[in-house]
Amino acid sequence: MKEKNIKEKNDPWQSGMAKNITFIVTKDCQLACKYCYLVGKNEKERMSWEVAKQAIDYILDNEQDFREESVVWDFIGGEPFLEIDLIDKICDYLKSEMFRRDHHWFNSYRFSFSTNGINYDTEKVQNFIKKNRDHLSIGITIDGTEVKHDINRVYKGNDERGSYKDVVRNIPLWLQQFPNAGTKVTIASPDIPYIKESVLHLYSLGIKEVNINCVFEDVWEDGDDKKFEDQLMQLADAIIDGDYFRDHACSFFMEHIGKPMDPKRDNQNWCGAGRMLSIDAAGNFYPCTRFAQYSLRDKKAWMIGNINKGIDKNKLRPFFTLDRCTQSKQECIDCEVASGCAWCQGENYDAAESSTVYQRATAICKMHKARVRANNYYWNKLYRKLELEGIAKEEAEKQMKQSSNNINC
């Protein structure tokens, strides 16, 4: 692939095999994003230092239950940087305790953040970044053009003021500190007409990698899949004709998607719920943040323990038996374009007819199939372009060699 000069999506740290432990440090946020799955955000529930410390002590005390070679300490909200003082204290304690205990995670850890970027340039946040720079991953969410971003990412309050200008001013500083960072873009029904121009706009800001996903919730209207496919094909033309593919990446276009999957050989679960651990402000443990009450519309929280009693492994058993076939309809198992069709375990649980994690939500089905059609168009066009470039290069080299021979004669 390197000789063809195609930029590939960056691999996750430690190939995504690290233990992911999430602190829900606050349920507050400056924004009220319209597509946000966190339906229970509020200003009251904020994690205390005492809860955070007790959670850390439990995890590090039980090293035998956390055998992964590496760890990602993830901080979310709401907006995590609203609690930068607490986060700074947590990270200092984690570093000192992992060192003091000679824990196997010492020097094999990351602190990870997904932020709205509004207070990224504040003194406290910047001091934290300087102190922890070698162990940090920070993603700023910017949805594209100002129009696209401000459709959904609006401030709390009645005026629904957009946040684009307050975010984009911090992008140069962010990219200076994290040159290879990618941004995450979320697509819901109203966003579809802005996909192409938004991705190109993010490229123009200096962002090399754009990770986009369609929301898993059942929000899609009739005809959205056709509009979606059209936008992706226009984007494909722009990326290929403009040579962006050489040093930019967009997660909508990936070679491995849109193929049938063998029920035995390709039966792994897409989602990592159950292998992760999430901790809320009250010290409750969850298999993923999406199972906390503030993330759920219709179901009760799925708690697997707390900082006082530890993890109840019996409550984790259903997640260890999950695979593609145990939660999918036969139609999904036999689908000719199954590869790359994603799901969220928390959304499966929330949308299910009963309190089960074994019923896969399929609202995204038609959008995945539209993506596959556009993806096939993208790769067919790209490889045709590269083939023609190769032919042209060979012809040019042949002519140069012939000219050289004529001169020597």
Query: Domain limits of the chain?
Result: 7-140+272-321
The CATH number of the domain covering residues in 7-140+272-321: 3.20.20.70
| Mean pLDDT over the full length of the chain | 93
| DSSP state at residue 303 | -
pLDDT at residue 342, rounded to an integer? 94
Q: Per-residue DSSP letters for 119-166?
A: TTTSHHHHHHHHHHGGGEEEEE---SSHHHHHHH-BBSSTT--B-HHH
Per-residue pLDDT at 169 exceeds 90: yes
What is the structure's pLDDT at 102?
A: 97
Torsion of CA 273, 275, 281, 282, to 10 degrees: 100
Band of the pLDDT at 407, cuts 50, 70, 90? low
Mean pLDDT, rounded, for 49-68: 97
Q: What is the mean pLDDT of residues 30-40?
A: 90
| Angstrom distance (rounded) from CA 186 to CA 195 | 10
Give residue-wise pLDDT tens across range 65-103. 999 999 999 999 999 999 999 999 999 999 999 999 999
Q: How confident is the model at residue 15 (pLDDT cuts 50, 70, 90)?
A: low
The arithmetic mean of pLDDT across residues 195-222, rounded, is 96
Per-residue pLDDT averaged across 161-183, rounded? 97
CA distance 290 to 216: 12
Taking a C-beta distance cutoff of 8 angstroms, is the pair 367, 336 a contact?
no
For residue 338, the 8-state DSSP code is -
**DSSP 3-state of 200:** helix
Q: Are 367 and 341 in contact (CB under 8 A)?
A: no
Count of other CB atoms within 10 angstroms of residue 95:
17
Instruction: Band the pLDDT of 16: cuts 50, 70, 90.
Output: low
Identify the bridge partners of residue 23 per DSSP, sorted by sequence position: 75, 279
Cα–Cα distance measured from residue 385 to residue 197, given in angstroms and rounded to the nearest whole number: 22
Which structure tokens are listed for 15? 């190939």
Average pLDDT over residues 115-140: 97
Q: What is the mean pLDDT of residues 268-289?
A: 95
- Please, are residues 371 and 257 in contact by the beta-carbon 8 Å criterion? yes
Element (H, E) at 50: helix 49-61
Q: Taking the CA of residue 377 as centre, how many other CA atoms within 13 Å lie in the half-sphere pointing to its CB?
A: 18
Helices 224-241 and 365-408 meet at what angle, rounded to 10?
A: 20
* Collapsed DSSP state (helix, strand, coil) of residue 29: coil
Answer yes or no: are the C-beta atoms of 138 and 174 closer than 8 Å: yes
What pLDDT was estimated at residue 408? 53
The confidence score (pLDDT) of residue 93 equals: 98
- The confidence score (pLDDT) of residue 2 equals 40
Return the pLDDT at 391: 83
> Cβ(142)–Cβ(167) under 8 Å?
yes
Region 201-217: mean pLDDT is 96
| Residues ≥6 apart with Cβ < 8 Å to 381 | 236, 237, 240
- Smallest Cα–Cα separation from 24: which of 71, 90, 68? 90
Q: What is the DSSP string of 371-396?
A: HHHHHHHHHHHHHHHHHHHHHHHHHH
Task: Give the model confidence (pLDDT) of 283-342 as tens digits.
Answer: 999 999 999 999 999 999 999 999 999 999 999 999 999 999 999 999 999 999 999 999
Question: What pLDDT score does 1 carry?
Answer: 40
What percentage of the chain carries pLDDT values higher than 90? 86
